[in-house]
Structure 1
Amino acid sequence: MRTRRTGLLVVSLTLGLLTAGAVSAGQSPADYQALRKEMDLLRERLAALQKEVDALKAQRPVTAAPAAAPAPPSNDFVMDLSKAPIRGSESARVTLVEVSDFECPFCGRYFVQTAPQIVRQYVDAGKIRQAYVHLPGAAHRYAFKAAEASVCAADQGKFWEMHDRLFSNQGPALAPELLPGKGPLAGLPNQDLYKSCLDSSKHAADVRADMAMVQQRGVTATPTFFLGTLDPKTRQMKVSRRIVGAKPFATFQQSLDELLAAESGSRGK
C-alpha cells in the first residue's frame, strides 16, 4: 500500500514539473506535442495506480470494535438448596450460603476469624439459617475427597461436625488415606459405614452437582457467599446479595442486618 502511494506522489510531482517546464522553457510545437503525449501517459499511469489503491482499500479487513466488558454476574436468581446441609432455626428465612473448599486457605481464614461470630450472633441466636455448597478447587490436592467425606458424614447427621473438623485440620490431615482414621473423623457414629461411603465415591456426583450450580452463577473463587430468603417448604432461596472473599465480620453484619430488617418489614405488612 505504501509503495503505491509513493508511486502516486512521484507521478503527480512529475506531471507538475513537466507542465512547469513546458510553460517556462518555450519549447517548439513538436516538443510540446511530445511532452503532451508523455503527460497523457503519466495521467493514465496515475489513474491506474489510483484504481489499485482503491481496490486495496476495499479488500482491507474492517477492524472489529473492542468487545464490551462482560456484565457482572447477577445476584437476582433462585438457588436450589434442597440437597444442601442447612442449620439454624426453621422459623428463620434469611439464609447465608457458604460456597467453600476445605483445603482453601482463605476459607480456613474465614472459618477461624469470621464464622464464629456469625454462628454465635446470628445462627445460634435463631436469626438466620446457614447452608453449605461445595466448590473444591482443582489445584487443591485433597479438596474434592474432603468434600465427599463431609457428605458421607452428612449421611449420619454429622455434616457440620465434619465441616468444623476438616477446617480445623487443613493440610496433610486431609489426605484420603487419613480421612477414615482418627483425628478429624473421631466421633462419627459408624466408621465402617463412613469408610464404605468414602471408598466407593458414593457422593462424588453430588459434589460435582454443587460445583456446576455455582459455576453457572459466575462463582470462580472461594469462599463466596450468597445471602437471601429461603422458602422452608421448597428449600429454594431467592438470592439478593453476594460477598466474595474472607471478608471481616462487619461486612457480613451489615448485609445480614439489612436483610433481616427488610424481612421483618415484609412480614409486618
Structure 2
Amino acid sequence: MRSLAAALALTLLAATASAYDKKALEEHIRESYQLPSEVSLAFGEAKGSDVPGFDAIPLTLTFNGRSQNETLFLSKNDRHYILGGFKDLKVLPSQERIKKMDLRTAPMRGKADAPVSVVQYTDFQCPFCERGYTIMRDKILKEFEGKVKWYYKALPLGFHDWAEPAAVAVECVKTQGVDKFWTMHDELFDKQGDITAADFDAKAAEFAKKAGADAKAFDECYKGKKTLEAVRRDADEAAGMGISGTPAFVVNGQLVSGADEKQIRRIVEDQLKKVKRGGEKP
C-alpha cells in the first residue's frame, strides 16, 4: 500500500510540474521577443531545477531548418519566466563553454598535448574569418609553437550564399583525412575573393582534388550532403553558448568575438603563465 501511495504521489508531482499553459507561454514569448510566425517553438516537459521555486523547460526554436536549444525557467505558480537561464556564480562561464564543446571529431592543428586550446567557429565566406584564419595560422601557432592547438568548428551564416556548401565540402574532404581537410580549409580562405555561389561547386571539386581527395568519393559525399548534419551540429553547439557571429574563438573556455588578435594573444599568454606557475590548471 505504501509503495502504491508513493507511486501516486510521484505521478501527481510529475503532472503538476508539467501542467503549464504552452499556448499562453508561446504567445507571451513571441510578443516579448518579437518572433515572427516563421520561427517555430517546441516546448519540452517541465522538470524540477536547481533554482528554488522554478521548473526548467527545454525550448527549441527553429527557423529555416536551423534549430537553437534554450532552457526556460518557469515559476511554480506559472506566473514568471526567464528565458536563457540563470547564471551560477560557482561555475565560471569558461567552464560551462568547455563542457558544451565536443572536440572529439573536430580537426586540430598543433600538438595534442598543448596546454592552450583555441576553438574557432568560422564561416568560409566571412572576410573577418579569413582575417582570423591568418592570425591563427601565421602568428599564434608559430609564435606559441607546441603550446597552442587550434580546432575548427563550422558556423556558416545564413546570409552567406556559399558558406554552408563550403562547410559541407570541407567536412567531406575530412572524411578522407585531416591533412586533406586542412589543405582545403586553407585553400578556401586563400581563394575566398575568387569564389562565387555560381561557381562554388566547380571550385569545391577543384580544391578537393588539389587536397588529394578521391574525386568520386568527394562528389558522392558533397552532392548527397552527407556531412550537413555535422555542420549543423557545430552551429547548434555555438548557439548553445550564445555565439551567433563569426569568427568566434574559445580560448581555454574564454570567448573572443571577432578577429581580435590582441585579445587572443592576451588570453593565450595568461593561460601559459598559469601553467608556468607550477602545474596550475589553465
CA contact 1:179–1:185 (8 Å) conserved in 2: no
- 1:141 is displaced (CA, Å) by 0.1
1:214–1:268 CA distance, 2 compared to 1 (3 A): closer
Q: 1:127 pairs with 123, 140, 147, which one?
A: 147
Counterpart CA distance in 2 for 1:155 and 1:174 is: 25
My pick for the range that moved more, 175-184 or 86-95, is 175-184
Deviation readout 1:140-166 (Å, 9 max, x if unpaired): 000001001111111121111111011
Deviation of residue 224 (structure 1)? 0.5
Distance 1:199 1:169 in 2: 22
Q: CA deviation at 1:266?
A: 5.0
- The Cα offsets for residues 177-215 of structure 1, whole Å up to 9 and x where unpaired, read as 223433575132312211111011010000000000110
- CA shift, 1:83, in A, is 1.9
- In structure 1, distance between residues paired with 2:250 and 2:167: 19
**CA separation of 1:266 and 1:82: change in aligned 2, threshold 3 A:** farther
1:255 and 1:152 mapped to 2: Cα distance?
33
Tell me if structure 2 keeps the 8 A contact 1:95–1:129: yes
User: What pairs up with 1:14-93 in 2 under 5 angstroms?
Assistant: 74-77=93-96, 78=99, 79-93=101-115
Residues 103 and 216 (structure 1 numbering): CA distance in 2 closer, same or farther, change over 3 Å?
Answer: same
Greater relative contact order (Cα 8 A, min sep 6): structure 1 or 2?
Answer: 1
The alpha carbon displacement at 1:103 in A equals 0.4
2:108–2:149 Cα contact (<8 Å) kept:
yes
CA contact (8 A) 1:152 1:194 kept: yes
Contact kept, 8 Å, 1:165 with 1:184, in 2: the verdict is no
The answer on 1:147 being equivalent to 2:167 is yes
Aligned-residue RMSD, C-alpha: 2.9
Could you tell me the TM-score, scaled by structure 1's length?
Answer: 0.63
Question: How many pairs are equivalent?
Answer: 191
Please identify, of 187-196 and 149-158, the stretch whose mean Cα deviation from structure 2 is larger: 187-196
Note the residue ranges of structure 1 that are not aligned, 5 or more in a row: 1-66, 229-238
Task: For structure 2, list consecutive stretches of 5 or more residues without a partner in the other structure.
Answer: 1-81
Equivalence for 1:189? 213
Match for residue 173 of structure 1 among 195, 200, 211: 195
Tell me if 1:226 matches 2:250: yes
TM-score under structure 2 normalisation? 0.61
Amino acid corresponding to residue 209 of structure 1 in structure 2: R
Percent of matched pairs sharing the same residue = 29
Q: CA 1:224–1:129 in 2, change beyond 3 Å: closer, same or farther? A: same
1:95 paired with 2:117, answer yes
Partner of 2:276: 264
> Which of these residues, 225, 228, 248, is aligned with residue 201 of structure 1?
225
The structural deviation recorded for 1:174 is: 5.4
Q: Separation in 2 of the partners of 1:209 and 1:106?
A: 22
> Which whole-Å CA distance do the structure 2 matches of 1:268 and 1:138 have between them?
41
SS at match of 1:267: coil
3-state SS of paired residue (2:273): helix
Cα displacement (A) at 1:90:
1.8
Identify the structure with the greater helix proportion. 1
